[in-house]
Amino acid sequence: MDLPRPTYRWLLGVALVVLALDQSSKLWALASLTSAFEGAHPPARVLFGSPPPPGFDGLHYTPKAHVIFSGEVVRLRYTENQGAAFGLFRGVPERFRVPLFHLVAAGAAVLVFFYFRQLRGARDERFARWGLPLVLGGAAGNYLDRLLRGFVIDFVDLRLGERHWPAFNVADVAVVTGVLLLLVDSVVRRARD
């Protein structure tokens, strides 16, 4: 049995929920894991970005002690990512990196809308129905950080023994989950053909 054809309202609605969860979690990270809202910076400048403070040491806000879960496996700690996902392109000069991020964000949005437009409501499209808005919402969350602040706020840190995964955020989880769902979608549809 087929599902109703997905609408742009669905795509944008799920993407906006992801965006809201992402930005709320980043505000929580700023409030709980840094001194950002403790009087040194006006709240509006924290929310909408501010230039680096005097004596800039690589972080715009002074981190507080991190929160540890599950021994040393999961930590919540404030970090700033000026690169792409998982810190890629961090070393690229800003004059090249910023236009690249604008181009990638615009390209990703165009691809998501193009792919979504191809959906017809078939039952085997259910993975794409969820994957596309997750990718769009996650990409929008990190892009909004770049536009407002010039960096992405990351705060989830995973360590498995000596192995350390680069810090990430809710938007990153949404993008990775969405991409995995799209991979499953391509396998399911290929198996059907």
Catalytic residue among 22, 145, 157, 172: 172
Q: Compute the distance between CA of residue 13 and CA of residue 154 in angstroms, rounded to an integer.
A: 24
Closest to 10 measured CA to CA, from 108, 130, 127: 130
76 membership: H or E segment, kind and range:
strand 74-81
172 catalytic residue (yes or no)? yes
**CB atoms < 10 A from the CB of 156, how many?**
20
**CB atoms < 10 A from the CB of 101, how many?**
20
154 catalytic residue (yes or no)? yes
Q: In the block, which residue shows the tokens 């399911």?
A: 188
Catalytic residue among 22, 154, 157, 185: 154
Where helices occur in the chain by DSSP H, the ranges are 8-33, 43-48, 94-118, 126-149, 170-192
Q: And the tokens for 128?
A: 């794409």
Active site members: 154, 172
